[in-house]
Amino acid sequence: MTQIEALQWIAKVFEASPDQLTPDTHRDNVPAWDSLGVLTLMASLDSDLGIVLTDDDVQAVKTVGDILDVIRRNGKLT
């Protein structure tokens, strides 16, 4: 997927508008990125993209850009 598609996918996961998200957006500024949101992200990465996050990955993910990096590292971002 392209970065724009990835941002749209992330917005869907967090029930946000895609135009509210940029790579610099911090999780504190995404209302649905709470503890349930973290688990939803893990489940969606697994079911939609086949990416299984480790606990270390989860702790490191603090911005939208961090999620894009996870997707990129797993070869799903063009």
Partner 1 sequence: MRFILVDTIHELDPGKRIKASKTLPANEELFRDHFPGFSVVPGVLLTEMMAQAAGRCLDAEGTHPGRAMLGKINGASFREWVKPDQEIMLHATITQNRPAFATADCFAEVVGKKVCSAELFFVFAPHEQFASDYQDEILNAYWKIHPDMQPKRTR
Residues of this chain that interact with partner 1 (CB under 8 A) are: 36, 39-40, 42-43, 46-47
User: CA distances (Å), 78 to each of 5, 40, 49, 75, in order?
Assistant: 10, 23, 13, 8
| Residue (of 36, 52, 55, 44) closest to 10 by Cα position | 44
- The CB-of-40 to partner 1 minimum distance in angstroms stands at 7
Residue 51 vs 65, nearer CB to partner 1: 51
Residue 3 vs 43, nearer CB to partner 1: 43
Residue 3 vs 48, nearer CB to partner 1: 48
